[in-house]
Every structure is written in structure tokens, then in C-alpha cells.
Amino acid sequence: MVGNIDYKRILFLDIETVSSSRSFEDMDEDKRKLWEKKSRFMVKQYDDDMSEEEKVKSSYTDKAAIFAEFGKIVCITVGIVTGQTGEWGLRIKSYADDDEKQLLMEFSELLSQYYNNPQTQGLCGHNIKEFDVPYICRRMIVHGLNLPHIINIAGKKPWETKHLIDTLELWKFGDIKHYTSLELLAGLLGIPTPKDDIDGSMVGKVYWEDNDLDRIVTYCEKDVVTVTNLFFRLNNEPLIHDDDIKFIK
């Protein structure tokens, strides 16, 4: 149990994001101007031998995906726990689409039908409070979609969002300035790492250049398995093994 939330009533999740356009040049003029303003501090990290225009273009390729205003979601993977202590299982399902609105509508339907009670249900992810949930909410607003109750958290107090279970926050133990990646924690705590094919920095290339959404889905699914096992490890529960994981189409 986490507070009054049973493990089997927690939805574990992860998202994968890419830039909303293939390249800086593919955006319309207004969006290009807005990115130029957004990136004015980011460009300082690039080589001084590069022109300002090259720096802006590179910053878009490298950074746009992490900003909901300039990126889009291409995959949301969710997992639910089955069984009991010592016999845990995990069911995994992915929502992936080039059409972000369609993907978000399907995910919204899942939340509205089956995860609509923040008093007895929860959402769990790594850095979910700072990235995944805000990103999902912002992209839903962009597409004119209503926010499901469980993620309609704008203006809520910290004690009103306890249903958002963040494994990064659990690891911080109150340290507000410390960030630890999922990959590092997995290695440290003996959890099989999901980073055996691509990593987050490669998702944009795999999507825009390789046109391989299935590969991104596989990567996202591995992250959800790892997040679930990290949560279990932090709660002194046995890990879920590959043989106990089922993938639902």
C-alpha cells in the first residue's frame, strides 16, 4: 500500500516525446520566431564556431521535444500490477500514434473510465510530477481536450496531488535539488536497465529520420517495466520478472 492506495490500483506510466516538426525549417515563420526567443539561453552551449542560425537550428533538434509548446507525444505506455507479494505480474499496454490527438483521446478514455478516483487510485512514474503529467495536460489543452479528473491538477496543493507517485521524489528523501536518472537508479539498485537499445536523446532521430515508431514503443515499454520495479524496490518488494510480464495490444 502507498497511503490508502493499493499497488494494483496504481497506473505506472511513461511518455516519449519528439519535436512537433521534423526540423526548425519545417515550422511556420511565427513558430520559428518563438523558438528563437525560447532558445536564446540554450544556444550558449554550442561551439562558438557555429553561426547563430546554426545554433538555433541545432537547439531545436536537440531540445524542442522536452517543451510541450514545441513538442508532441508519440507514445504513452502504461502498466498495471497483478498478483500479490512474491507473485507479482505486470500487464503493459502502449498508446502510440503519429496523430497525437488520437493518442491522447485514447489515453484520456482509459483514465476517465478506469482511473478517475485520486482518493483510492494513483499514477506512478519517474519525474512524473515535473514532466510526464504536465506535458500530457498541456498537450491535451492544445488539442482542446478535457482533462480527466485524476490529472486535472492545476492550482492544486501538494496534499491534493498525493495520488501522483513520483519515484524520483521518493528517492530524493526531501532533497529538493537532487536529480537522479532512471538509468542510474536502475543500475544502482540492481534493476535491469531499459537503456539497451536507444536512449532519450535518440528518440527524435528514430522517429523523424528512421520512421520507426515501433522501436520507440519498445523503449517506452522497457521504461515502464523499470519504473514499476524501481517503485517495488523502494518499497522493499520483490522485482517483477520478464516471464511475469504480459503485453496487451
What residue ranges define each of the domains in the chain, with the CATH number in brackets?
Answer: 7-18+74-248 (3.30.420.10), 21-69 (no CATH)
Element (H, E) at 21: none
Tell me the C-alpha distance between 74 and 103, whole Å: 8
Check residue 208 and give its pLDDT: 97
Tell me the C-alpha distance between 209 and 33, whole Å: 24
pTM flag (> 0.75): yes
Phi, psi of 248 (to 5 degrees): -105, 130
Check residue 44 and give its pLDDT: 83
Which residue shows C-alpha cell 501538494? 158
User: Under DSSP, is residue 196 helix (H, G, I), strand (E, B) or coil?
Assistant: coil
Of 87, 76, 41, residue with least CA distance to 237: 87
Tell me the C-alpha distance between 182 and 193, whole Å: 8
SS (H, E, C) 153-171: CCCCCHHHCCCEEEHHHHH
User: Under DSSP, is residue 6 helix (H, G, I), strand (E, B) or coil?
Assistant: coil
Check residue 197 and give its pLDDT: 76
Check residue 195 and give its pLDDT: 55
Of 129, 136, 130, residue with least CA distance to 161: 129
Q: Which ranges of the chain have pLDDT less than 50?
A: 1
Q: Grid coordinates representing 118? A: 485520486
Check residue 79 and give its pLDDT: 98
Check residue 176 and give its pLDDT: 82
Residues 6 or more apart whose CB falls under 8 angstroms from that of 92 comprise 77, 78, 79, 221, 224, 225, 245, 246, 247, 248
Element (H, E) at 201: none
Which residue shows C-alpha cell 510526464? 132
Check residue 86 and give its pLDDT: 80
